[in-house]
Amino acid sequence: MSIIKSRLKLTMILLLFVFALFGGVYVVSLELDRIHLTVTVLKDGNTIPGANVYVYAVFPNGTKLVATTCTNVYGIAVFHLSVKDVIKPIIDWNQAEKRSFIINPGLYITSMGVYNNTVYFGSASTKLPLTTSGPIITRVNLELRHPITKVEGYAKMVSTNIQQVSPWAKLIYSAQKTMRETFFKVSTDQNTKASCGYLVEQYREVAFKCTYSVTKVIDNSITVTWSIGAEISWVTSQIEKALVFNVGQSSTGYVSCLAAINYECWEYDYPADGEVYREHRVYIAYYWPDTLDKVIGEDDIEGNQVLLKTATGKGLNSIATILYLDWQELAIPISKFIKYISIKYLDFPQVLNVPLDVNLVFKSAHAICAHVEVYGVEGCTINIYRVEVSRTLNACYQIPAWAIILRT
């Protein structure tokens, strides 16, 4: 009998060991596919409990909703996502064919929450590494920026079970169009000319921010005018591409390239006020560095002229001064794309069909470089301006543009 008990005990120990071993392997395999995302929703430094949080995976043809929840009493929302679902498709897309660029995966996050009896909207994002191996741990602070509506008498709940029903969002419409867009411009007058250089560095990264607006479904009224939001795409050039060109007197020179531009319309229901809202997103998903050319794109760069410096002309064959464009962001006009969407998408609010831009920012130093050699008639005073894009018609933002204006 004692022998049988000993054997049973040994068998149980072996079984427990096997279960522990394979259970541990299972847990490890799960972690290798995990993205652990923590989002803290804030307004003016205060955490916002009960805020709706929406997480989107960024793909070449648009964003995809992958998770939603509400923040807890500490204003925090926690998500556990899959590397296979979020990152691997980007790796596969990069490897599918040889392009002059690669893109990075990432998560774009929006939120609606109540602070001081007002519903606010905000966005944030996080770039993810190009790896198929987890776990990946990322933390994001999302600031609620834009007031949506008042909700008088809204009671601030303090329990961890703040909202019983999970928040939802659905894609109403999306479109992508490849267009040639203008990145750089130099304009002269009758007394000046310029020699220009433009360079996209190899293995340097830029990001494009999302331009967005929010409207009410019931009447298409604007609750958030077009604004510049968080980064939504990350592009690294795989080649070096350089252009050199001259801009004669009373002329204008341009640099442009092909870019894939996305529009998305997402619909949200917010229980605090019972209203249904639509978020309109416009952004450049990627661009082709190898398509850089010395031609104007679909849109011209226009805006306020800000004086950079003055120089004295030394003759049209002697350099008066050299400008190096070193600001780390630039506006890319996409108004023709908005007009295209306003025609194609019948429910597009026409109040949003206004001049619009996308904001490009450098993630790597000197990702794009440009310089302008300025020439002027001897003795003349050359006023050198840069262009600042400032949108106020159903929009609210200012972005410097890579545009130089020479005037005497």
How do residues 107-133 score in pLDDT, each as one tens digit?
A: 999 999 999 999 999 999 999 999 998
Amino acid at residue number 395: A
Work out the angle at residue 403's Cα, subtended by the Cα atoms of residues 401 and 405, and round it to the nearest 5 degrees: 135
Neighbour tally for 259: CB within 10 Å: 26
Mean pLDDT of 21-34: 63
pLDDT for 19 equals 44
pLDDT for 15 equals 47
Is the pLDDT at 10 greater than 70, yes or no?
Answer: no
pLDDT for 244 equals 97
DSSP-derived pairing of the beta strands 241-247 and 381-391: unpaired
Six token digits for residue 37: 């995302």
Mean pLDDT of 389-401: 96
First to last CA, the chain: 109
Quickly state the pLDDT bin for 30 (edges 50, 70, 90). Answer: confident
Quickly state the pLDDT bin for 16 (edges 50, 70, 90). Answer: very low
pLDDT for 108 equals 98
Residues 6+ apart with CB under 8 A from 160: 72, 73
Residues 6+ apart with CB under 8 A from 177: 260, 261, 337, 340
How would you label 353-381 residue by residue, b for 16+ Cβ within 10 Å and e otherwise? Answer: ebbbbbbbbbbeeebbbbbbebbbbeebe
Q: What is the number of alpha carbons within 13 Å of residue 5 lying toward its C-beta?
A: 2
Spatial contact of 115 and 46, defined as CB atoms under 8 Å apart: yes
Q: What is the pLDDT of residues 297-320, one digit of tens each?
A: 999 999 999 999 999 999 999 999
Q: Which residues pair with 215 in a beta bridge?
A: 222, 278
Spatial contact of 167 and 327, defined as CB atoms under 8 Å apart: no
Six token digits for residue 180: 């040639």
In angstroms, how far is CA 405 from the centroid of its own chain?
A: 28
Distance of alpha carbon 210 from alpha carbon 233, whole angstroms: 8
DSSP-derived pairing of the beta strands 357-362 and 205-216: antiparallel
pLDDT for 372 equals 98
pLDDT for 273 equals 65
pLDDT for 159 equals 39
Q: What percent of the chain has pLDDT over 90?
A: 84
Q: What is the pLDDT of residues 71-96, one digit of tens each?
A: 999 999 999 999 999 999 999 999 99
Distance of alpha carbon 133 from alpha carbon 29, whole angstroms: 10
Is the pLDDT at 21 greater than 90, yes or no?
Answer: no
Is the pLDDT at 11 greater than 80, yes or no?
Answer: no
Q: What is the pLDDT of residues 145-184, one digit of tens each?
A: 999 988 876 544 433 344 446 788 999 999 999 999 999 9
Q: In the chain, what are the domains?
A: 32-167 (2.60.40.10), 170-408 (no CATH)
Quickly state the pLDDT bin for 227 (edges 50, 70, 90). Answer: very high
Distance of alpha carbon 166 from alpha carbon 214, whole angstroms: 21
- Closest C-alpha to 267, from 112, 61, 41: 112
Q: What is the pLDDT of residues 315-331, one digit of tens each?
A: 999 999 999 998 899 99
Q: In whole numbers, what is the pLDDT of the chain averaged over residues?
A: 91
pLDDT for 9 equals 47
Distance of alpha carbon 353 from alpha carbon 341, whole angstroms: 9
Is the pLDDT at 405 greater than 60, yes or no?
Answer: yes
Q: Which residues pair with 150 in a beta bridge?
A: 118
Distance of alpha carbon 391 from alpha carbon 244, whole angstroms: 31
Distance of alpha carbon 264 from alpha carbon 246, whole angstroms: 39
Length of the chain equals 408
Q: What is the pLDDT of residues 239-259, one digit of tens each?
A: 999 999 999 999 999 999 999
- Closest C-alpha to 235, from 201, 194, 187: 201
Quickly state the pLDDT bin for 31 (edges 50, 70, 90). Answer: confident
pLDDT for 327 equals 87
pLDDT for 24 equals 45
Of residues 137 and 4, the one with the higher pLDDT is 137
Distance of alpha carbon 301 from alpha carbon 333, whole angstroms: 6
Q: What is the pLDDT of residues 347-388, one digit of tens each?
A: 999 999 999 999 999 999 999 999 999 999 999 999 999 999
- Closest C-alpha to 111, from 68, 60, 165: 68
Distance of alpha carbon 289 from alpha carbon 302, whole angstroms: 23
Q: Is 217 left (phi over 0), alpha (psi -120 to 50) or beta?
A: alpha
Of residues 381 and 21, the one with the higher pLDDT is 381
